[in-house]
Structure 1
Amino acid sequence: MSRHQYDLVMCLNLPGTSVGKVCDRCDGRCPLCDSDVRLISKVRICDSCSIGNSGSKCIVCGNLGTHEALYCWDCHRSERNRDGCPKILNVGSNKTDRYYSKNKTDASKEV
């Protein structure tokens, strides 16, 4: 997901021991490149991203996380899994912007 949407901001702090979670919709894809082929290594998130309720949320979209997040073989081989914590920080602002832009276009159609 972060590969296709350039306005998303990743945490990139030093990863801790906690394993990142993904929801049913994001399961089976690499959080860095959206590849769904050869998922091999677990995603580690930083301690600040795993505190409280945020530790059980999806690291990509923020929904309830049910599965462990995994990096694909290509990201593991190119060592992109060592860049830092891959949790997306500003998912809420993207959803908010999409909501208001949708309402703005709906309002212009009514006039």
Structure 2
Amino acid sequence: MARHHPDLIFCRKQPGIAIGRLCEKHDGICVICDSYVRPADMVRICDECNYGSFQGRCIICGGAGISDAYYCKECVTLEKDRDGCPKIVNLGSAKTDLFYERKKFGFKAQG
């Protein structure tokens, strides 16, 4: 997800023991490079990203988590799994712009 949207920001704090989760839409992808091939290492997130209502949520979009998140073999080899907590902490400009466009034209939110 972050590979295709450069305005998304990772948390990057020291990961704890909590395991990252993914929703149905993002199930099976590497959280760093969006690859669907060769899952290798389980994603660990920091305690702050797994606290309260964030517990069990998708680390990319915040939806209901249904499966564990994994890094792909290439990201593990390149040691991108050691950069810190990979949870996305901002919405991104595309979603923010869409929210204000809907509000401006009076459309009701879908979903």
Q: Distance in 1 between matches of 2:57 and 2:103?
A: 27
Give the count of matched residue pairs: 107
| Structure-2-length-normalised TM-score | 0.87
Of 47-56 and 77-86, deviating more is: 47-56
Q: Which runs of 5+ in 1 are unaligned?
A: none
Give the share of equivalent positions with the same residue, in percent: 47
Aligned equivalent of 1:25: 25
C-alpha RMSD over aligned residues: 2.1
Aligned equivalent of 2:65: 65
Q: Which has the higher helix share?
A: 1
Aligned equivalent of 2:86: 86
Q: Which runs of 5+ in 2 are unaligned?
A: none
Distance of aligned partners of 1:48 and 1:5 in 2 relative to their CA distance in 1, 3 Å threshold: same
Which secondary structure does the structure 2 equivalent of 1:49 belong to?
helix
Aligned equivalent of 2:16: 16
Q: Distance in 2 between matches of 1:43 and 1:88?
A: 13
> After TM superposition, what 4+ stretches of structure 1 lie above 6 angstroms from structure 2?
none
1:16 CA drift (Å): 0.4
| Structure-1-length-normalised TM-score | 0.87
Higher gyration radius (CA)? 1
- Residue identity matched to 2:38: R
